[in-house]
Structure 1
Amino acid sequence: MQLSNEEEDYNLSLSKFESMLKTNKVLFFDSEEFEEIILHYLDMGKAALAKKALKLALDQHPKSTGLKLVQVEMLVYDDKLDIAERLLNELYAIEPTNEEIFIQKANIYSKRDQHEKAVEFLKTALEYTDDYADVYNLIGMEYLFMDNLEMAKQSFIKCLEEDLDDQSALYNVVYCFEFLDQNLDAIAYLNKYIDKNPYSEIAWHQMGRLYYGVKDYENAIRAFDYATLIDDEFLGAFMEKAKAFERLNKYEEAIESYKRTIELDDATSYALLRIGKCYEKLGNKVQAIKYYNDTVHEDPLLDKGWIAITDFYVRQKDFQKALFYVNKALAIDNQNRLYWKRYASINKQMNFFEEAEFGYRKAVEFGDHSLDTWLFWVDTLQFLGEFESAIQTLLQASEYFPEENEVEYRLAGLYFMIQDNTKAKFHLSNAMRLNFDNYILIEDMFPVVWKKKMVQNYIAKHKKE
């Protein structure tokens, strides 16, 4: 690839400057060359070299406004805002129509969190600038800092009217539309934008995302197709297209798109997992389990991968293999509540109730406070005859679910089992108040209690009331 004359000159200037630093010979550069060299080092994060270049530049060109503005930029970069402002005021007295002075003033006020003042200076810069797009973009960013998304959106739109190819403004305008919950307006805007700039893969990709967000998957796929036709290595568009195909249950097309992302870059655990899910939906169990295994090989810490393998074998009722994989997962991360819950339910299916009880206890310990986990744990404790532990567990659960009839019926049944009739009646009353018809839980779960005449009479009495 041939370099342009400008690029060659730029590279020569840099080489010449770096050679000068090594030999300690002072060479002459024009002020614009110095500006490019300084800004290059700033962009590279090499502040010390940028400062060295600036000192040499000002020695050779002490009256250059351009270099003094670069000096202001560096002072702002170092948070020396008051010094920067004084220098700008001096420059303003010399060149009151230089738009860069107002842009740097805005930069200073932005750094001071005075964003409205910054916008005022940027609006003044608009009166003198030839680069309207850049100034509108800066105004948009200031409005973003103020959380004024509507004004930010309008500013980015004006920026794009001046420069259709400003990708950061395009991303920002879509962000504003989305934040304002104006997805359909965003789609309408992008349609107009694409009429003017039909080969913008970014615009097509953003439109696809927006259609996906409003669940119009057919149009999302059409938009992603255009994005990938314009740029056949647009990994993000292939990934999003695959997700849209999945939503439409077009699993073969989804697999094809996910595989394209793997061709373009290293395989991601996400793509491998989704391919496995698609193959499972197509009934291709061999390929499904292959890709699930590839997923955990690629990222052993991804819980969704281990869960996919475990759940796959649970669905096949191959509990031995399911247990093998959930144990492998727990060996990697033994504080994952999702793994412990599966460990518990698989052991329960295999009638290993002590292991199941341990699993539910661990799931709760590591943050699973869903109702079904508490109830599975309690029912397992009850099966093991650990009534006191079951009661204590239910009392814990009632802190999370104070008005849950299933908790109250179980407490009633367990208190009857340990002959604490006063507490049993209290919880049975609560349970029937919350959901009378669910009293059959007592019959199903506590047949010994159900047969007691006292219990039958108590329920009958509440029924009449």
Structure 2
Amino acid sequence: MRDESSEYLSFEELFSLVERFEESIQSGQAQFFDVHEFVELIDFFIDHEDEEKALLALKHAENIYPSSIEIKYKWAEFYHFTGDNEKALELIHEVEKIEKFNSDLLYVKGEVLFELGKLNAAVECYDKAVSADTDDNIELLHRISTFFLENEEINLALKYLLISYSKERNNLAVLFDLGYCFERLNELDKSVKYYNEYLDINPFSAPAWYNLGIVHTKLGEFDKAIECYDFCIAVDPQYSSAYHNKGNTLASLEKYDQAIKVFNELAELESDSPRVFTLIGECYEKLEQYDKAIEAYNKSIVIEPDFAEGYYGIGVVLAARKKYELSLNFIRRAITLNPEEYDFWLGLGRVYFETNDLENSLKAYREATGLNPDLPDAYLSLAEVLLYEERFTEVEQLIDGLGNKFDSNVSIKIINAAALYLSHRPKEALDILKDAKSIDPSSIDDFINLVNPDADEEFIENIYKL
């Protein structure tokens, strides 16, 4: 691999070398290239994924310099590049007999071993490469950490980044990746620390402000997150993801007017994005400005006539206006366009429930549970319909079938307790209520509002003893 710091050639010299090599091939006239020039050519073609020319350069180099260790090493890199890692490793072992502690060779060997599924051996190789590198090895450490990041080995990436940081605390690439790694590992305070160190050195990095905003959002520090997105936008007014996240953060804070303003700014950058207009529609929907919501959802459909979320949004607004038959038409249209969307089936079930079409409501909720069995909403809605129909045994069977999947979900516990109480099993209901109260004391009020056991004085007395 090659970068700006190559000790041999500048980029201008490199491109001149490549042109000279390609001219020699086309003309058939031999030109002289020394070993280092061949190394540069081979690196260039591998970096640009030009397998044919890399192979051509290797063959030319081998003919002229048959005993060159550097060319053998480049053959190993080439075989690694083409995916023949067994052959690459075989050549590396040959080179190691002569140059056992070459850091570049050890780095490539580490990559090859990793791709052969030998993680521990790869790490051992990288450690040897770092020890063998007599120069300032920050670049090598960062190459190793980048390789592990690209392969989702976050803890290993972090190991080499922290070594880099101990050697050079103001390296921007290292600081940025440290912030990213700690975010991935959910060590968010540490992530904030390293992103802030990065921004102390380079405050004009839009990606760093953006990533820091995401971390503050995860920490629940929404004002700080919005401030970060503002800085990101100030540095790069075209950074559309910052508008998107800022708008979503404001919407989550129920600051819908402000969110709409941000999403409108985003719409100026992404005027052909139907998703932006559904975000605007959702905000107007929350403000109960239904005409504006429908207008925004319609814009999304105009941009992309088969945009399912636009139809679904209109369906939700029509349901809020109690125009249930029209609502069903739009939601069913959304499902036709995207039958795998969990929320669409959930919404369909709710509208069917409002029209008292309970069997179709149950079918919709069951479809949703099949699409995403790890979310509780559809199970909860399914249990509510069964409870409404006084199918208490089925409620119990449904919730028992979930096992401990949603053990901390108070709403499901309340439905379960209600089904037990209404089927004349008050002691079992109290056990469930005791568990629910330990999670959320106000859940007892939800239970009382649901089943209205006021006439059962003994049960009410036992509830308040929990």
**Same-fold call, TM cutoff 0.5:** yes
Gaps of 5+ in 1: 383-389, 413-424, 445-455
1:96-135 aligned at under 5 Å gives the runs 99-111=103-115, 112-113=118-119, 114-126=121-133, 128-130=134-136, 132-135=137-140
Classify 1:348/1:129 alpha carbon distance in 2 versus 1 (closer, same or farther; 3 Å). same
- Aligned partner of 2:165 in structure 1 is 157
Q: How does 1:148-187 map to 2 (within 5 A)?
A: 148=156, 151-155=159-163, 157-158=165-166, 161=169, 163-164=171-172, 166=173, 169-187=174-192
Q: How does 1:231-380 map to 2 (within 5 A)?
A: 231-265=236-270, 267-282=272-287, 284-295=289-300, 305-334=310-339, 338-350=343-355, 353=356, 355-367=357-369, 370-377=379-386, 379=388
SS in 1 for 2:186: coil
Secondary structure of the structure 1 residue equivalent to 2:159: helix
Instruction: Spell out, residue by residue over 1:40-66, the C-alpha distance to the aligned partner (whole angstroms, 9 max, x if none).
Output: 332333323311221112323445554
Relative to 1, partners in 2 of residues 1:429 and 1:224: Cα closer, same or farther, differing over 3 Å?
closer
Is 1:28 matched with 2:40? no
| Change in CA separation of 1:338 and 1:101 when aligned onto 2, cut-off 3 Å | closer
> TM-score, normalising length from structure 1?
0.72
SS at match of 2:199: helix
Inter-CA distance 374–90: structure 2 relative to 1 (3 Å threshold) = same
User: What's the counterpart of residue 400 of structure 1?
Assistant: 401
Distance change (3 Å), C-alpha of 1:58 and 1:373: same
Conserved 8 A contact 1:432-1:439: no
Corresponding residue for residue 410 of structure 2: none
1: distance between equivalents of 2:180 and 2:460? 58
Matches of 1:443 and 1:357 in 2, distance apart? 26
Once the two structures are TM-superposed, the CA of residue 393 in structure 1 deviates from its matched residue by: 4.8
Q: Secondary structure at the match of 1:92?
A: coil
Cα deviations by residue, 1:85-133 (Å, 9 ceiling, x for unpaired): 233324417xx6x54244334444544321331232122233x124x33
Residue aligning to 2:75 = 71
Instruction: Specify whether residues 318 and 212 from structure 1 end up closer, same or farther in structure 2 by C-alpha distance, changes over 3 A only.
Output: same
Q: Give the drift of 1:68.
A: 3.7
Distance in 2 (CA, whole Å) between partners of 1:52 and 1:105 is 23
Which amino acid in structure 2 is aligned with residue 327 of structure 1?
R
* Distance 1:209-1:429 versus aligned 2 partners, 3 A rule: closer
| Residue identity matched to 2:316 | D
In the alignment, structure 2 segments of 5+ residues that lack a partner are 1-8, 371-377, 404-412, 435-443
For residues 311 and 167 of structure 2, the distance between their equivalents in structure 1, rounded to whole angstroms, comes to: 47
Q: Structure 2: which amino acid aligns with 1:57? A: A
Write the deviation string for residues 116-152 of structure 1: whole angstroms up to 9, x where unpaired: 31232122233x124x332121343577648356534
Matched residues in 2 for 1:283 and 1:378: separation? 30
Aligned length: 415
Evaluate the alpha carbon distance shift between residue 325 and residue 463 of structure 1 in structure 2; reply closer, same or farther with a 3 A threshold.
Answer: closer
Kindly tell me: are residues 363 and 333 of structure 1, through their superposed partners in 2, closer, same or farther at Cα, counting changes over 3 Å? farther
| 1:148-204, Cα deviation, whole Å (9 max, x unpaired) | 56534413535864642x3xx444312322244332232233223222223233322
**1:87 is matched with which residue: 73, 94, 97?**
94
Contact 1:91–1:101 (CA under 8 A) maintained in structure 2: no
Larger Rg: 1
When the two chains are superposed, the root-mean-square deviation of aligned CA atoms in Å is 4.1
Distance across 2 between alignment mates of 1:54 and 1:199: 43
